[in-house]
Amino acid sequence: MLDRIPNNVDLEGNPKLQRALLEWQPDFLAWWNEVGPEGFQQDDVYLRTAVGVGQGGWAHWEFVKMPEYRWGIFLANPRKIDTVYFGDRIGEKLWDRVPGEFRKELRRLIVTQGDTEPASVEQQRLLGQTAPSLQDLRALLQVNVEEARHLWAMVYLLHSYFGADGRDEAEQMLERRSGHADRPRILAAFNLPIRDWLAFFCFTTFTDRDGKFQLASLAESAFDPLARSTQFMLMEEAFHMATGETGVARTVRRTAELMRQGVDPRSVGAIPLEIVQKYINEWSSASNDLFGGEDSTNAANYFAAGLKGRFNENDPGKYGDHRVLDAVYESQVFQDGHWSTVSIPMRRAMNAVLLDSYHEECARIVERWNSGLEEAGLSERLSAPSLRFNRRVGLYAGQPYDPAGEPVAEADWRAKAGQWLPSTEDREYVRQCMLPVLEPGKVANWIAPHAKGVGGKPTDFQYVQFH
C-alpha cells in the first residue's frame, strides 16, 4: 500500500508514520465510499495526480478509478529564509517540531483547516448527477479527489507531530459530517448544502478562495512542515478557483447572449442575472464569515507566536513592519442610529486584514465577470456584496445592512432578504435548469461551453469513460 502513496516526506524510512497511516487509510476509504462523489466510482476519470515537486512537473495525468486515486503527501521545496520573520519571535530558527507552548493552537489550526477538506467533498457529493458537461464532471471529480488529498496533508501533520492526540483528531475528521445535527463540520459555511452547479461555482470562487488566503497565511508559519504542506496545497487550489470563476463566467455569458437576442433566459431554462447575483451574495457573505471575527485575540496570538502571518507576509515591500505592535485597524459600524469608528489594535485585527486582501481579489473577479456583460453590450452589472452584508460572525454579525453596506431597518431587511438572497423559488428554478449532459463536447443549455479543454485534451474529449 505504501508504494501507492506518492510522497516526498520519506514515508519509506519512517515506520511509525507508516503504521499510523496504514491504520487510518481503510477508514479514509470507507469515508470516501460512504460520502464521496455519488456514482462514477467505477468509471475511468481523466485526473491529475500530484506526484512530486521535481522539475519534471508536479502532476501526472491519467485515467483512474477514483477509489484507486493515489492520494499523496508533499512538502513544497524549502523556503529561502530559515528564520521566523513576523511576530514576537523574529530571528528564531524555523521550527521542525511543535513547540510545547503552541501545541494546542497549532493542533487547532491544523484540525480546522483539515476539517474543511472532507466537508467540501460531502457538500458536493450529489452534483455529478447533474453535470452540465463531461468536462465539468471531470472538474468536479478533480476538485473532490484533491480536497481529499488536502485532508491527507493535514492528517500527515497530525500523525507525525501530535502523537496519540493527532491520531484521534485524524479519526474525528472522518466522523464529523457536513450539515449533521450532532456531528457537524467545524466552520459554518461547510455545513451549508451545495444543491446545484451555480452554488458549486460560487463556492469554488468564494469559499475555495478563502482556502487560498488561509493556506497562504499558514504558508508563512514558523512551523515549517505546516508552511510547506500548505504551500504545496496552493498549487492544486488554483484549479479549484478557476473552475468557479470560469463556471460563473460561462453562466453569465450564456444569459447575456440570450438577453442580447431579446430572449428571456427563463423561457429557455437559463439563469437570470438577478439569481446569479443572489447566489454571489449568499456564498460571498458566508465565505467572509470564514475569516473569523475582525477583532480576535486568537488571531493576535497566532500572529505573535509566528503561527499564521498576513497574506504574502514575506513579500519585500508589502509590509514594512513585521512586529505590528503599535498600529491600529479602523472600521465603521452603524450603532444607535449613527456611524461610529471602531479601533482595533492591529494584531487583534489580523482576520480583518486577511479578509480585506481577500475581498480585493473577489472584487477583481466580479469585474472580470462584468467585462463579459460589457462585451455583450449589456448595461447590467454584478457586484460582490459589502463586507457588512449578511454576516453571522464578527463586528457586523446579525446587523441589518443591505448588499451595498448601508444600514436598513430590521423589518426592511426581513422584507427584502428574498431580493438579496436566493429564495425557495429561485433555488427550485435553478434546480430545474440542472439537466445532466454527458456527451463529449456537448453542454447544458444554461451555460456557455468551455473556451478550452484541460490536461492537454480538447473540449470534446471523453473525460470520463463510463462502465
**Among the listed residues 211, 265, 272, 309, the single contact to ligand BYC using CB under 6 A:** 211
Q: Hey, which residues between 344 and 383 contact ligand BYC (CB under 6 A)?
A: 351
Q: Which of 84, 98, 109, 202 binds ligand BYC (CB under 6 A)?
A: 109
Stretch that binds ligand BYC, among 27-35, 42-50, 110-118, 452-460 (CB under 6 A): 110-118
Q: Which stretch binds ligand BYC (CB under 6 A): 60-68, 172-180, 285-293, 431-439?
A: 285-293
The binder of ligand BYC chosen from 131, 252, 299, 353 (CB under 6 A)? 299
Closest CA to 69 of 19, 113, 35, 32: 32
Residue range at the interface with ligand BYC (CB under 6 A); choices 23-31, 40-48, 107-115, 398-406: 107-115
Only one of the segments 57-65, 130-138, 166-174, 206-214 lies at the binding site for ligand BYC (rule: CB under 6 A); that segment is 206-214
Closer CB to ligand BYC, residue 303 or residue 446? Answer: 303
- Helices 134-161 and 103-123 meet at what angle, rounded to 10? 160
The pattern of x and - marking residues 120 through 159 that bind ligand BYC according to CB under 6 A reads: x--------------------------x------------
Nearest-approach distance from CB 40 to ligand BYC, in angstroms = 20
Q: 410: which 3 cell numbers? A: 430590521
CB of 78 to ligand BYC, least distance (A): 23
Interaction of residue 289 with ligand BYC, rule CB under 6 A? yes
Using the CB atoms, write b or e for 98-128: b if 16+ within 10 Å. bbeebeebbbebbbbbbbbbbbbbbbbbebb
Asked whether position 210 contacts ligand BYC by CB under 6 A, the answer is yes
Scanning 25-33, 72-80, 124-132, 205-213 for contacts with ligand BYC by CB under 6 A, the matching segment is: 205-213
Q: Single out the residue of 251, 296, 386, 390 in contact with ligand BYC (rule: CB under 6 A).
A: 296
How many residues make contact with ligand BYC (CB under 6 A)? Answer: 25
> Counting contacts by CB under 6 A, is residue 293 touching ligand BYC?
yes
Output the smallest distance, CB 109 to ligand BYC, in A: 5
Among 188, 263, 325, 363, binds ligand BYC (CB under 6 A): 188
Q: How far is the CB of 397 from ligand BYC (least distance, A)?
A: 10
Which residue's CB is nearer to ligand BYC, number 210 or number 282? 210
Binding site for ligand BYC (CB under 6 A): 109, 112-113, 116-117, 120, 147, 187-188, 207-208, 210-211, 214, 289-293, 296, 298-299, 308, 351, 393
